[in-house]
Amino acid sequence: MDYQYSAIIIGKRDVGETDRIYTAFTQQSGKIKVLAKGVRKAQAKLAGALEPLTLVDLATARAQGMGKVTGVVVENNYNNLKQDLATVAVALRGVRLFDRLVDLEQPDEALFQLLKEFLETLDSLNGSAPVKSEVVSLAFTFKLLSSLGYHFEATRCVQCAGPLSSGDRNGWSPETGGVACGACVAKDTQARSISVNSIKQLRVFSQNSLNSLRRLGVDERDTRELGRIAVDFIAWVR
């Protein structure tokens, strides 16, 4: 059977003498793994088109087991993104997390569009300000988790459902995966402080597209705080 996919390459692994297994997230079938035969030979033409962080039209043939790549056409190489090493590092971290959290062969149009928008947005930054790509990456992380059913509660207290004060008494609660109000934080020994700005930023993330977040004014301290919360939240999810 032959298959045609619109696919974003998210990983690769060398196998055998000259072959490679690629991981791709496809619009049609979700995450798949495909074998590219002879792709590591010097004269192989497919390798460049199959680099991670590339949007491609992918043709495969599958009899049994893993599909084999029969053709690939680059749709978007995200050249601006790839010219900036810091942005490449941010993008690779994002797709690795995506790969870790997303199961094989579960088609999901919203996830495909989110991943595509993540790369498009990083590409459009032109390596301008590293903190901007960090913000886009954080927003991508929280949107990804939310799409997978792990919504990060930041609109009301995750424990008592009461309102969150605009003071500094709120806390991020690793036990429950959200922001707790001052009264609940006082009873929760695990809670860590979270600034009002970070809470606001989490709300901005959930209400805006990644693309529009490019124009958001960002504070490096809040971004670092949210980065630590994202790491804790992912650990809680897993």
Chain residues binding Zn ion by CB under 5 A are 157, 159-160, 162, 181, 184
d(CA 69, CA 4): 10
Instruction: Pick between residue 113 and residue 165 the one whose CB is nearest to Zn ion.
Output: 165
What's the min distance (Å) between Cβ of 158 and Zn ion? 8
d(CA 78, CA 103): 25
Instruction: Pick between residue 19 and residue 153 the one whose CB is nearest to Zn ion.
Output: 153
What's the min distance (Å) between Cβ of 203 and Zn ion? 17
How many residues in the chain? Answer: 238
| 59 to 19, 50, 199, 209, 219: CA distances (angstroms) | 17, 12, 44, 31, 44
Instruction: Pick between residue 129 and residue 160 the one whose CB is nearest to Zn ion.
Output: 160
Q: Which two tokens stand for residue 207?
A: 């209400």
Instruction: Pick between residue 86 and residue 161 the one whose CB is nearest to Zn ion.
Output: 161
Q: Which two tokens stand for residue 205?
A: 């993330």
Instruction: Pick between residue 27 and residue 159 the one whose CB is nearest to Zn ion.
Output: 159
Left (φ > 0), alpha (ψ -120 to 50) or beta: where does 126 sit? left
What's the min distance (Å) between Cβ of 56 and Zn ion? 48
| 22 to 37, 115, 207: CA distances (angstroms) | 11, 17, 33
Instruction: Pick between residue 8 and residue 164 the one whose CB is nearest to Zn ion.
Output: 164
Contact call for residues 165 and 225 (beta carbons, < 8 A):
no
What's the min distance (Å) between Cβ of 155 and Zn ion? 13
Phi, psi of 53 (to 5 degrees): 70, 40
Contact call for residues 30 and 104 (beta carbons, < 8 A):
yes
Q: Which two tokens stand for residue 75?
A: 């749709």
